[in-house]
Amino acid sequence: MAVASGVVAQPLFRAPVGTRDLLPPESARRRRLVAVFADLAERTGFGLLESPIFEDLGVFQRLGADNEVVTKELFEFFDKGDPPRHLALRPELTASVCRAFAEHRPTQPWKIWYSGPQFRYERPQAGRYRQFDQVGVETLGTDDPHADVEVIGLGLRFYEALGMKQVRLLINSLGDATSRPAYDAALAAYLRSRRDELSEQSQITLERNPLRVLDSKREQDQPVIAEAPVMADFLSGESAEHFVAVRAGLDSLDAAYEVSPRLVRGLDYYTRTTFEFVADALDTAQNAVGGGGRYDGLVEDLGGPATPGIGFALGVDRILLACDAEGTFAAAPAPVEVFVVDTAGGQSAAVLCDRLRQAGLGVDRAFDGRSMKAQMKRADRSGAAVAVIIGPDEQAEGAVTVRDMRPGGGQRQVASDDVVSAVTEILAEEA
Ligand code: AMP
Give per-residue pLDDT as tens, 18-77: 999 999 999 999 999 999 999 999 999 999 999 999 999 999 998 877 777 888 899 999
Same domain, 172 and 277: yes
Domain assignment present for 423: yes
For atom 8 of ligand 1, the residue with the nearest CA is: 315
Q: How many CB atoms lie within 10 A of CB 105?
A: 11
At 3, the pLDDT band (50, 70, 90 cuts) reads low
What number of residues does the chain have?
A: 431
Above 70 in pLDDT, residue 245? Answer: yes
Same domain, 143 and 263: yes
Domain assignment present for 159: yes
How many domains does the chain fold into?
A: 2
Which of 1-15, 175-189, 236-250, 349-363 bottoms out in mean pLDDT, i.e. has the lowest? 1-15
Over the stretch 413-431, which tens digit does the pLDDT of each residue have? 999 999 999 999 999 987 7
Domain encompassing residue 111: 26-179+235-326
Same domain, 378 and 240: no
Q: Residue 245 maps to which CATH number?
A: 3.30.930.10
Same domain, 90 and 149: yes
Give the ligand 1 atom nearest the CA of 277: 10
For atom 20 of ligand 1, the residue with the nearest CA is: 128
At 160, the pLDDT band (50, 70, 90 cuts) reads very high
Give the ligand 1 atom nearest the CA of 312: 6
Same domain, 116 and 265: yes
73 Cα: distance to centroid of ligand 1 (angstroms): 13
Average pLDDT over residues 175-201: 92
pLDDT of residue 4: 58
For atom 9 of ligand 1, the residue with the nearest CA is: 290
Give the ligand 1 atom nearest the CA of 136: 6
Above 60 in pLDDT, residue 1? Answer: no
Average pLDDT over residues 258-281: 89
Give the ligand 1 atom nearest the CA of 127: 21
pLDDT of residue 2: 47
pLDDT of residue 284: 76
243 Cα: distance to centroid of ligand 1 (angstroms): 25
Domain assignment present for 223: no
Same domain, 175 and 303: yes
178 Cα: distance to centroid of ligand 1 (angstroms): 30
For ligand 1, residues with CB inside 6 Å are: 92, 120, 122, 127-129, 132, 134, 265-266, 288-291, 313, 315, 317-318
For atom 13 of ligand 1, the residue with the nearest CA is: 315
pTM exceeds cut of 0.95: no
Same domain, 47 and 138: yes
Same domain, 50 and 144: yes
Same domain, 50 and 165: yes
Q: Which of 270, 302, 326 is the last residue of a domain?
A: 326
Above 50 in pLDDT, residue 354? Answer: yes
Give the ligand 1 atom nearest the CA of 124: 19
Q: Residue 364 maps to which CATH number?
A: 3.40.50.800
Say if residues 46 and 137 touch (Cβ distance below 8 Å): yes
Domain assignment present for 17: no
Same domain, 391 and 288: no
Above 80 in pLDDT, residue 135? Answer: yes
Same domain, 35 and 159: yes
Same domain, 31 and 119: yes
